[in-house]
Amino acid sequence: MPKCDACGEGTNMPYTCNYCGQEHCKKHQLPENHNCPNIAEANTLGPELRREYQTVPSTSKSKLEDKRVWITVAVVLVGLLTVLLLL
| pLDDT of 16 above 60 | yes
At 15, give phi and psi (nearest 5°).
-105, 130
The pLDDT score that the predictor gives to residue 86 is 87
Alpha helices in 5-59 (DSSP H): 39-42, 47-53
| pLDDT of 62 above 60 | yes
The pLDDT score that the predictor gives to residue 31 is 87
Computed over every residue of the chain, the mean pLDDT equals 81
Give the pLDDT band of residue 38 (cuts 50, 70, 90): confident
Q: Give the pTM.
A: 0.47
The pLDDT score that the predictor gives to residue 52 is 54
